[in-house]
Amino acid sequence: MSTVTITAADVNKLRKATGAGMMDCKKALVEADGDFDEAIIVLRKQGQKVAAKRADREASEGYVVAESTGKFGAVVAVNCETDFVAKNDDFVAFANKIMNIAINTGATSLEALKNAEFDAGITVAEKIIEQTGVIGEKIDISYFEIINAEKVVAYNHPGNKIASLVGVNQEAIEESIVRDVAMQVAAMNPVALDETGVSEDIKAREFELGKEQALKEGKPENIVDKIANGKVQKFLKENTLVDQPFIKDNKQSVSQYLNSASSGLKVTEFKRYSLG
């Protein structure tokens, strides 16, 4: 049995370093005979056990955040099991730090982000396991995407359940103009940038739905295909970003809004993620 005296200052130091509860920190220090680094390892092993037990749990709550810096931007979703944890200040800070790491390292994939250093001697993936033990819920990164463009702008919807990212082809364009489009992406959830990005399978599905509806309404068979094609065009207009009516002025499309702001201004790419 350990005879090392564990002080309140020791426990507080470990708590600040790991975010674990006071009692968990004290137990870890006792098990490690007062060795600070060994106590951190004890807590990480505890996190591994909790993570293994909760591996089959559904982590459908969480915090979604987008951030951009000049020509690079990222969207990340850090998941947990309950909304209570998702709103916790420590969890929010944890998710924001992961985003900062993504931006600072220029991570290009989820694997690269998880392998990035969170703190000295610990990766993001290892920190996630550690936090699983601290919080007692399954924690994971369910989504990570980036954009590289001449200018990238992020938008985070209040509550951080939805976030979007938009890249455009002009570096000098005012940020607020691109943010308007990022807000459009968040609100209207387009399926693609333009018609070329919509798969033939989706177009065929919409055509068949339009045809079925027209027949049910008793339309003459010789004009059913024409009606169905019209339904497809309506679907494309409503669901492709550049052709959607602009939410701040529905008399013009998003592409018209951009071109009126700056000749030749175009969206090159967008990302959107929503929890649930």
Please determine, for residue 190, whether its predicted confidence score (pLDDT) is greater than 80.
yes
Contact between 165 and 68 (Cβ < 8 Å): yes
Residue 73 has what pLDDT? 97
The H or E element spanning position 64 is strand 61-69
Choose which CATH entry (3.40.50.10420, 3.30.70.1350, 3.30.479.20, 3.40.720.10) describes domain 61-148: 3.30.479.20
| Residues in a beta bridge with 64 | 77
Residue 19 has pLDDT above 70, yes or no: no
* Residue % of the chain over a pLDDT of 70: 92
Tokens coding 233? 């065009």
Q: How far apart are CA 128 and CA 147, in angstroms?
A: 24
Across-strand partners of 249?
246
- Using CA atoms, how far residue 197 sits from 12, 50, 137, 191, 265, in Å, is 54, 42, 38, 8, 19
Sequence spans of domains, the chain: 8-53, 61-148, 195-267
pLDDT in tens, 96-141: 999 999 999 999 999 999 999 998 888 999 889 888 878 888 899 9
**pLDDT at residue 224, as a whole number:** 85
Contact at 8 Å (CB) between 265 and 173? yes
Write down the pLDDT at residue 1: 45
4, pLDDT greater than 50: yes
For the chain, give percent helix, strand, coil, nearest 5: 50, 20, 25
Answer whether residue 23 shows pLDDT above 60. Answer: yes
Q: What percent of the chain has pLDDT over 90?
A: 63
Q: Does domain 8-53 have CATH number 1.10.8.10?
A: yes
**What's the pLDDT tens digit per position in 31-86?**
777 887 777 777 777 665 555 556 666 778 999 999 999 999 999 999 999 999 99
Count the neighbouring beta carbons within 10 Å of the beta carbon of residue 22: 12
pLDDT of residue 125: 92
**In this structure, what DSSP letter does residue 263 have?**
T
- The pLDDT of residue 49 is 56
Q: Judge whether 162 and 64 are in contact, CB under 8 Å.
A: yes
Rounded to two decimals, the pTM is 0.79
Confidence label for 205 from pLDDT (cuts 50, 70 and 90):
very high
With tokens 């056990």, the residue in question is 49
Strands 267-274 and 162-168, sheet pairing = antiparallel
4-13, 144-153, 168-177, 229-238, range with the lowest pLDDT:
4-13
In the three-class reduction of DSSP (H, G, I as helix; E, B as strand; rest coil), residue 109 is classed as coil
3-state secondary structure of 102: helix
Summarize the confidence of residues 180-197 as an average pLDDT: 96
